[in-house]
Chains A and B, each alone.
Chain A
Amino acid sequence: MPQTLYDKLWNDHVVRQEADGTALIYIDRHLIHEVTSPQAFEGLKLAGRKPWRVSSIVATADHNTPTDHWDEGIKDPVSRQQVETLDSNIREVGALAYFPFKDLRQGIVHVVGPENGATLPGMTVVCGDSHTSTHGAFACMAHGIGTSEVEHVLATQCLIQKKSKSMLIRVEGQLGKGVTAKDLALAIIGRIGTAGGTGYAIEFGGSTIRSLSMEGRMTLCNMAIEAGARLGLVAVDDVTINYLKDRPFSPKGELWDKAVAYWRTLRSDEGACFDCTVDLRAEAILPQVTWGTSPEMVVPVTAVVPDPAQESDPVKREGMERALQYMGLSPNTPIKSIGIDKVFIGSCTNSRIEDLRQAAAVLKGRRKADSVKLALAVPGSGLVKRQAEAEGLDKIFVAAGFEWREPGCSMCLAMNADRLEPGERCASTSNRNFEGRQGPGGRTHLVSPAMAAAAAIAGHFADVRDIL
């Protein structure tokens, strides 16, 4: 019987299965960061248990770390304690690799894993972080887990799971100039909703997906969780294999050839059955901007803010009204007329080299509007930062009035000092526009890096296609 990619990955990791479908799933890669791991390490210790396989662990500090004045360390004592707790836990337990604060290869865990070849096709990848779905771009069964499950994986190298349903999101055609994987992700969420993928593993397929770079595929799978799906998947092809060649933890020599032969089988078979299929045309997708407090509250940049009065479902209508009030917006306001205070280019969604190149292409020879108080460019890792500097991108950002920062999660969730003040409006390349996400009272509009750059220049949202 033809199998989906998800079927293949699932079957390859079942240690044992109960009659009701509850299965023990083996975990190949365990990514760890400072926020969701301390209680797990503590629990392990209290129970007198040892970690099962420390060579599965790759760890880094990212959520709390500052993005400037690294020479001054972490000023917030509570943040510092969390990062130091990770240091001591990893020192005690061990790991395949640890990239601590200030390490050259430190960065956002979902950027660090793939760029070091620590994320390989066919793996199960877990992390106490919902955006672990990112790694599905490499045909990995990758998803976020809670801290109890972090402890479970540490102790047993397994998770207790039930198989999800499968959804194919098929995108055909060519994305227009200035339209990126981020716009595609937002358009998909706009279409199926933030709960549209709940209970599903989503595979992204079609010619549009195949034409995306690994960076673009990571952006797309990263946002699968915002559509409610625990995991997103893209099949292996030459783009995947070429990306992984010669990465530090990628297999070498004979093992590489053997691995590649297996990896090439990691795609859905012809005629494989999905529980649900959604079709989109790439040409129909325009640059997207969110207007509300959920990623599904999204429209093309050419549109206006929706009017709750047009919504027939009373719960939805109230949700829209509440969102508009929080966002300080009125119905029917053209998106392009909405002014912004800050710009954030970064996060596990959009802080890779291609994202920085796309933003820099828009910013080159231009400058941010004076009304934009702060524009941050935060590379996803030390390696991304170095690559960008080698290409001279940092100079373009700085000349455009951006601050060029050290790597980390930064203003995506504002656990460090980078944040919005109450009422401030931000064009952000991150993944969540929830109330208070980027700082209490802050107003987040999710966009692509190119659109964030365009907004920085204009001082309000602008159609990047008019600039390129």
Chain B
Amino acid sequence: MEKFVKFDGLVAPLDRSNVDTDAIIPKQFLKSIKRSGFGPNAFDEWRYMDHGEPGMDNSKRPLNPNFVLNQARYQGASILLTRSNFGCGSSREHAPWALLDYGFRVILAESFADIFFNNCFKNGILPIVLPKEEVDALFGLTEHTPGFRLTVDLAQQQLVRPDGHVIGFQVDPFRKECLLNGWDDIGLTLRHAEAIREFEERRKQQQPWLFA
């Protein structure tokens, strides 16, 4: 996994609650057996005027001018600002894969759905929960300030606005370490292989029917 270092990025607003994983990446694209290439189909049903299917040349498809991420001012955004319960629905990791492939490294929201939140960390995306007042303020700033950017400092757990205002945020210490170092979870867990084997042996004694 790529290390998450301090960076400065353009903010794009998606002012909706309950954005579900079917909206982030519709089911027809889940048929891929790869991890990459989902970006052009992120938010497919909102983003394009026509119906998308795998294998289409997305650069030739008509864009929906009313979808906020299609506006010229938000091209190249790497920070997504949204509302509550973002990523609800299915456990498909294709959702964070699509957002990452699109270019998002940070998602700011009032709240996230649990499985999606977890999946983000596994892919080097930082999901940040902020209080409603901060989210409201950021929506206002994003709308009224062309080219509105934020600096994301994971080590300090801070978002810094261009006006110098600092927004602190919480992040699980273990997940923070993993992101900062780009650690592979599996490698970390396998350092405890001996403990897993011992646990498994005990379990076989206590609940042998689980191993029959």
Contact = CB atoms under 8 A, between A and B. Distances in A.
B185 A160 contact: yes
A148 interface: yes
Interface string A64-95: 10000000000010110110010000000000
A419 B88 CA distance: 22
Given A16-B192, A145-B91, A148-B93, A436 B199 contact: no
B31 A129 contact: no
A198 B85 contact: yes
Of the listed residues B18, B112, B211, the one surrounded by the most CB atoms of chain A closer than 10 A to its CB is B18
Interface stretch (A167-175, A254-262, A360-368): A254-262
Interface string B26-45: 11101111110000000001
A128 B26 CA distance: 17
Interface residues of A, number: 77
Nearest to A16: B195
A191 interface: no
Contacts of A42: 33
A318 B172 CA distance: 33
B209 A152 contact: no
Contacts of A284: none
Contact of B27 (A53, A230, A413): A413
A146 B192 contact: no
Interface residues of B, number: 60
Contact of B174 (A22, A63, A64, A262): A22
A407 interface: no
Given A148-B185, A158-B196, A259-B207, A316 B27 contact: no
A318 B17 CA distance: 9
A275 interface: no
A116 to B, nearest CB: 14
B54 A78 contact: yes
Interface stretch (B70-78, B118-126, B144-152, B153-161): B118-126
Nearest to B33: A38
A28 interface: yes
A296 B73 CA distance: 34
B3 to A, nearest CB: 17
Nearest to B193: A156
B85 A128 contact: no
Contacts of A63: 30
Interface string B173-212: 1100000000001101110110110011001000111111
B51 interface: yes
A36 interface: yes
A82 B84 contact: no
A156 B190 contact: yes
A302 to B, nearest CB: 26
B114 A55 contact: no
A147 B196 contact: no
A233 B186 CA distance: 28
A157 interface: yes
A437 interface: yes
A42 B15 CA distance: 36
A401 B39 CA distance: 42
Given A26-B200, A85-B33, A146-B119, 17 more contacts: A16-B195, A24-B195, A28-B210, A36-B93, A39-B35, A76-B31, A145-B118, A160-B188, A195-B85, A251-B212, A259-B207, A294-B18, A413-B22, A434-B20, A436-B22, A437-B22, A440-B45
6 contacts: A24-B189, A146-B115, A148-B123, A155-B190, A228-B88, A435-B22
